[in-house]
Structure 1
Amino acid sequence: MPYALRYTKTIAAVWDSLPATVSEGLAQALVAVCEDPLGSTEPYGDDDGIMRTLVVGALFAVLYVGHQTRTVHIYQIDYLG
């Protein structure tokens, strides 16, 4: 069963402001994250299995993985393009 994706209105606004190709790449990567959060991301700092990093080209996102609730929360999106 896939994890559910969660994010705030602020994150939604950042995502909406991305160039179309970058936004699409993020969406595709997040589908993979919801299927396999640990296999499709890297640790953020110490590998606690909860705070994760997603890198898609020039885009960097910080994620929180709630294993008990089966949710992935986007905490930060940075685009360096």
Structure 2
Amino acid sequence: MTYRLTYDPAVEAVHDALPPEAREQLTLALAAAADDPIGATEPYGADDPYMRLLVIPHTTALIFIGHTRRTLAVLNISYLG
């Protein structure tokens, strides 16, 4: 079952402000994470099933996985240029 993405408006603004190629890569990676949040992400710090890091070329996203409500909350996006 697919997880639903949620964004804080400030984080969504960062996503929207990414260069086109980075924005597209992040969008596709988030779609993959919505289908398989653990498989598409890496542990953030200790191997935690809730706080995960999505790493793609030039961009990272910190994600909180809400397993009960089946949500992925994008908490932070960093563009590494």
Specify if TM > 0.5: yes
Please report how far the alpha carbon of residue 5 of structure 1 lies from its aligned counterpart in structure 2 after TM superposition. 0.2
Which SS does the other structure have where 2:28 is aligned?
helix
Please report how far the alpha carbon of residue 43 of structure 1 lies from its aligned counterpart in structure 2 after TM superposition. 0.3
Partner residue, 1:5: 5
Partner residue, 1:74: 74
Which SS does the other structure have where 1:68 is aligned?
coil
Please report how far the alpha carbon of residue 74 of structure 1 lies from its aligned counterpart in structure 2 after TM superposition. 0.3
Partner residue, 2:58: 58
Encode CA deviations 1:15-73: one digit per residue, 9 max, x unaligned.
11100010000000001000000000000011120000001101011000000110000
Which SS does the other structure have where 1:22 is aligned?
helix
Q: Which runs of 5+ in 2 are unaligned?
A: none
Question: CA–CA distance in 2 between the matches of 1:48 and 1:13?
Answer: 27
Corresponding residue pairs, total: 81
Question: CA–CA distance in 2 between the matches of 1:67 and 1:16?
Answer: 26
Q: Which runs of 5+ in 1 are unaligned?
A: none
Q: CA RMSD in A?
A: 0.5
Question: CA–CA distance in 2 between the matches of 1:50 and 1:67?
Answer: 8
